Amino acid sequence: MRTIEVSEFGGPDQLRLVNRPVREPGACEIRIRAVAASVNFADIKARQGLYHNGGKLPFVPGLDVAGIVDAMGSDVTGLHIGQRVIAFPQSGSYSEYTIADRNLVYALPEEVGWEEAAAVPTVFVTAHQLLTTVTRLIPGETVLVHAAAGGVGTAAVQLARYLGAGTVIGTVGSDIKLDIARQYGADYVFNYARESFAEAVLEATHGRGVDIILDSVGGDEFAENFRCLAPYGRIAVFGNASGRYGSVSGGELHGSCRAVLGYSMGTTRRLRPETLLPSVTAVLELVRDKTLKVLIGARYALEEAALAHTLMETRQSIGKILLQIAAE
Ligand SMILES: NC(=O)c1ccc[n+]([C@@H]2O[C@H](COP(=O)([O-])OP(=O)(O)OC[C@H]3O[C@@H](n4cnc5c(N)ncnc54)[C@H](OP(=O)(O)O)[C@@H]3O)[C@@H](O)[C@H]2O)c1
């Protein structure tokens, strides 16, 4: 099978197309013939050797896939050969075939097309988990989403709206992305490369600040979050796209009753896979009935994975980037 392998950590040129044998699934495993996979920011971190859940070299990158069940282990029930599915595979998804545990494979409703299906798993499920089980959004609350024109960003803005947020605010790193975040449901969008987002957020909220911040950027901007986080507010830390994590003093939390919460889907896949099912079910239904829109910003062939990574890490991508692996 054709697969993308990383045999040394480094730049996009480390993503090499190679041929590898197709593996048989174990008793509780499912082999999937991939139709499309998505590119996630964690793939870039993994390629650089900086992903906290990263594997040992050599490895196949990729966190999620949409495809067709091709073979199943003897203990697998509830699915059949030929079924359309999405999955969080244990082996990487930049590959013609991939293997996933049964509890991380989900039947795909007929009405959900391949591209939407491939784009949904990591970013929409993460956004759903962040707003529900992690920060526990209460209807009417104000939500701030950083990197709001990206994969998780466009998903989180829409889901915040759907889950009853009163006001949704986004930040983006360039003016060209301002309209994207607005189109996907943000009431206000600020370019944090150009202005202090905390000042802008305080002005937009008449000095009150926001109740929830979804922060995947970290770095110097992290401290600014506390300038515009209301009492009882929650910050979810779920990435460090800037390359650094911010730090927080207990003094920012104690008297104001505010909280900082961590989230990793990689860890959740490994330790609590069953807790993903409600979010997967919810987002697939919302995509099926067109409540949620999936923004596909770019498409590449499997062998063009390096171009896809370059687009994302130079901050030029919007929404999701897809790898088109095979025709159905
Ligand atoms: N914890 C989890 O389970 C989990 C799951 C999925 C994703 N994530 C995290 O969520 C974030 C978004 O993931 P995604 O796949 O949807 O990616 P994405 O948002 O489509 O792309 C990453 C975005 O990060 C922003 N960014 C800020 N500083 C950056 C820098 N120095 N270099 C590159 N990008 C920078 C850019 O947006 P602007 O130009 O608008 O700033 C860029 O477009 C990532 O940090 C990712 O690691 C975490």
In this structure, the answer to whether residues 131 and 240 fall within a common structural domain is yes
What is the CA(217)–ligand 1 centre distance, in A? 7
Pocket test for ligand 1, best of 133, 315, 318, 323 (most atoms within 8 A of CB): 315
Of ligand 1's atoms, which has the minimum distance to the CA of residue 268? Answer: 3
Check residue 162 and give its pLDDT.
Answer: 98
Q: Are residues 262 and 131 in the same domain?
A: yes
pLDDT, mean of residues 39-56: 90
Q: Residue 249: is its pLDDT beyond 90? A: yes
Q: Give the domain CATH number at 25.
A: 3.90.180.10
With a 6 A CB cut-off, is 317 part of the ligand 1 pocket?
A: yes
Provide the H-helix boundaries in the chain.
41-48, 114-119, 121-129, 151-162, 178-183, 197-204, 221-225, 265-271, 277-288, 305-313
Residues 81 and 132 occupy one common structural domain: no
Inform me whether the pLDDT recorded for 214 exceeds 90: yes
Q: What is the pTM for the complete model shown? A: 0.97
Structure tokens at 278: 């409600």
Give domain status of residue 279, yes or no. Answer: no
Task: Decide whether any atom of ligand 1 lies within 6 Å of the 167 Cβ.
Answer: no
Q: What is the pLDDT of residues 145-200, one digit of tens each?
A: 999 999 999 999 999 999 999 999 999 999 999 999 999 999 999 999 999 999 99
Q: Cα of 153 to ligand 1 centre, how many Å?
A: 8
Residue among 38, 39, 40, 41 whose CB has most ligand 1 atoms within 8 A, to mutate? 41
Range of the domain at 151: 123-266
pLDDT of 231 over the 90 cut = yes
Q: Looking at residue 56, what is its pLDDT?
A: 87
User: Do 165 and 298 share a structural domain?
Assistant: no
Residue 190 Cβ inside 6 Å of ligand 1? The answer reads no
Contacts of residue 114, defined as CB under 8 A and 6 or more positions apart, other chains included, come to 35, 36, 66, 328
pLDDT above 90 for 247: yes
Is position 312 within any domain? yes
pLDDT band at 47 (very low <50, low <70, confident <90, very high): very high
Residue 312 near ligand 1, beta carbon < 6 Å: yes
**Distance from C-alpha of 129 to C-alpha of 136, rounded to nearest angstrom:** 9
Length of the chain: 328
Judgement on whether residues 131 and 211 belong to the same structural domain of the protein: yes
Q: Which residue has the higher pLDDT, 18 or 55?
A: 18
Q: Tell me the per-residue pLDDT of 96-150, one tens digit each, with 9 for 90 and over.
A: 999 999 999 999 999 999 999 999 999 999 999 999 999 999 999 999 999 999 9
Residues 245 and 170 in one domain: yes
Q: Do both 45 and 151 map to the same domain?
A: no
CB of 149 closer than 6 A to ligand 1?
A: yes
Asked, for residue 23, whether it belongs to a domain, the answer is yes
For the segment 275-294, what is each residue's pLDDT rounded down to a tens digit? 999 999 999 999 999 999 99
Domain count, the chain: 2
- 90 pLDDT band, cuts 50/70/90, is confident
Question: How far is the C-alpha of 66 from the C-alpha of 122, rounded, in Å?
Answer: 11
CB distance 313 to ligand 1 below 6 Å: yes
Which ligand 1 atom is nearest residue 314's CA?
33
CATH code for position 159 = 3.40.50.720
Q: How confident is the model at residue 51 (pLDDT cuts 50, 70, 90)?
A: confident
